[in-house]
Amino acid sequence: MKILILSNGHGEDQIAVRIIEQLYTFSNPPEIVALPLVGQGYAYKKLNVPLLGSVQTMPSGGFIYQDSQQLWRDVQGGLIPLTYEQYKVIRQWGKTGHKILAVGDIVPLLFAWLSGTEYGFVGTAKSDYYLRDETGWLSHTSGLTRWLGSRYFPHERWLMSHPRCRGVFPRDSLTAQGLKRWSIPIFDLGNPMMDGLEPSQTENLTIPPGTLTILLLPGSRPPEAYNNWQLILESLAGVMGRFSDRSVVFLGAISPGLSLDSLQFFVMSHGWIYEPLNSGQIRVNDDQVLGFTKDNGTLILSQNIYRDCLQKADLAIAMAGTATEQFVGLGKPVITIPGKGPQFTPEFAIAQTHLLGNSVILVENTLEVGPIIDSIINDPQRLEEIAENGKRRLGNSGAAQRIAQCLMGQFWNL
């Protein structure tokens, strides 16, 4: 049996790869190929998953839904002929009778339906948490949306309830429960986004006990991430001033797609002084790590110890999507600052607070960050509520293995 994986974004590619890795562990794994509808599919290439058809990076980086100008830029960049070529490849795949697993939103789901073959869908983009929580509808949710009853629109639910759709894997239990009202084959198996975040077996990051440790997440797509980074840096002086009586460590968990040289330039322009690490109490198992000091703060930039940074940090200052959700899923609080986009706009930031609830605190400007952090870490009850909320909304690790088991068993009997 062969499976074609369709995905439409960097985060979606990563989730798909986690499922593929688990499929490869079976004694009779299916033959897998992938078609990333957005970008070059680097996550697939890293795992040596063959790519089918044409791939191309669009100017928007995949955020055409948030800005009509971004859509026009993509059209000028060749979106229409690329989409048509991808459609033809998918239709040809469907004629072979092999299966499709769509990962993302309606775009790969629609392509899976157009293929004419059986398909499954891992819904990563939509959640009913945008509209409601366990106690009821959120105040901003319109009457029409309440009547529709789900973040998934009727045409999307039709695609998921089609006889050729053999299974749907929503991103959280609240969404899964809501979709069960329709004739949709729902499998509530968790969110693969939380896989692979367990503490490293080796000690890659050592920080003295009692140190206030803050994760910095500027996002992954240039040039937006560089603009986000400058906003985050503006907030650090206020944080250190608020906690002048203790050491503060800032962990910059930097995407491999960003330039450390550019980030270092911004850091030093804010008065931080370069200082090699591993000579004192802070130790980092990363030959390429950069360290800086200023007043009572230490700033670390690393592209190689992402999950260690997430595990060690007490809270985060973030302007990111997937990384913010993963940190919240570990039960920790996040302070966010709205940016200029194309991803992390004020509208995106507000929607993220709906999705992640009280785990995310949205501030209007960088001056608010220090006082907010002070109020959070000195409120044990609030921290406990944040921990419970994050774990409930993102679920337990191991979802990729559970989805793979379902695919190999009751789903397609591979």
Residues 189 and 224 in one domain: no
Query: What is the CATH number for 215?
Result: 3.40.50.2000
Q: What are phi and psi of 271, to 5 degrees?
A: 90, 5
Q: Are 386 and 333 in contact (CB under 8 A)?
A: yes
Q: Write down the pLDDT at residue 9.
A: 81
Q: Provide the token pair at 292.
A: 């800086």
- The helices-and-strands tally (H runs, E runs) of the chain is 16, 17
Residues 217 and 132 in one domain: no
Q: Provide the token pair at 207.
A: 């920080």
How far apart CA 256 and CA 220 sit, in angstroms, is 8
How far apart CA 85 and CA 8 sit, in angstroms, is 15
Residues 233 and 352 in one domain: yes
Q: Provide the token pair at 54.
A: 């044409």
How far apart CA 351 and CA 340 sit, in angstroms, is 15
Enter the DSSP assignment of 186: B
Residues 259 and 403 in one domain: no
Residues 11 and 156 in one domain: yes
User: Is the torsion defined by CA of 68, 72, 73, 79 positive or negative?
Assistant: positive
Structural domain span for residue 185: 2-196+397-411
* Tokens 């930097």 -> residue: 254
Residues 6+ apart with CB under 8 A from 26: 404, 408
DSSP helix/strand/coil, 129: helix
Q: Which residues of the chain have pLDDT under 70?
A: 54-79, 82, 279, 410-414
Alpha helices in 281-398, H assignment, sequence order? 306-312, 322-329, 346-356, 369-377, 380-394
Name the amino acid, one letter, at 268.
M
Residues 272 and 185 in one domain: no
Cα-to-chain-centroid distance, residue 134? 23
Q: If phi over 0 gives left and psi between -120 and 50 gives alpha, with beta otherwise, what is residue 218?
A: alpha
How far apart CA 190 and CA 92 sit, in angstroms, is 32
Task: Identify the CA nearest to 138 among candidates 364, 391, 327, 358.
Answer: 358
Decide the pairing of beta strands 290-294 and 360-362. unpaired
DSSP helix/strand/coil, 390: helix
DSSP helix/strand/coil, 108: helix
Residues 297 and 245 in one domain: yes
Q: Are 180 and 191 in contact (CB under 8 A)?
A: no
What domain count does the chain have?
2
Residues 212 and 159 in one domain: no
How far apart CA 324 and CA 229 sit, in angstroms, is 15
With b for 16 or more beta-carbon neighbours within 10 A and e for fewer, the 275-305 pattern comes to eebeeeebebbbeebbbbebeebbbbbbbbb
Helix (H) or strand (E) holding 299: strand 297-302
Strand partners, 4: 33, 100
Whole-model pTM above 0.75? yes
Residues 55 and 113 in one domain: yes
Cα-to-chain-centroid distance, residue 161? 26
Residues 145 and 216 in one domain: no
Q: Provide the token pair at 122.
A: 């891992």
Strand partners, 400: none
Q: Write down the pLDDT at residue 64.
A: 44
Helix (H) or strand (E) holding 82: helix 79-95
Residues 97 and 160 in one domain: yes
* Tokens 């503060």 -> residue: 248
Residues 247 and 184 in one domain: no
How far apart CA 225 and CA 307 sit, in angstroms, is 19
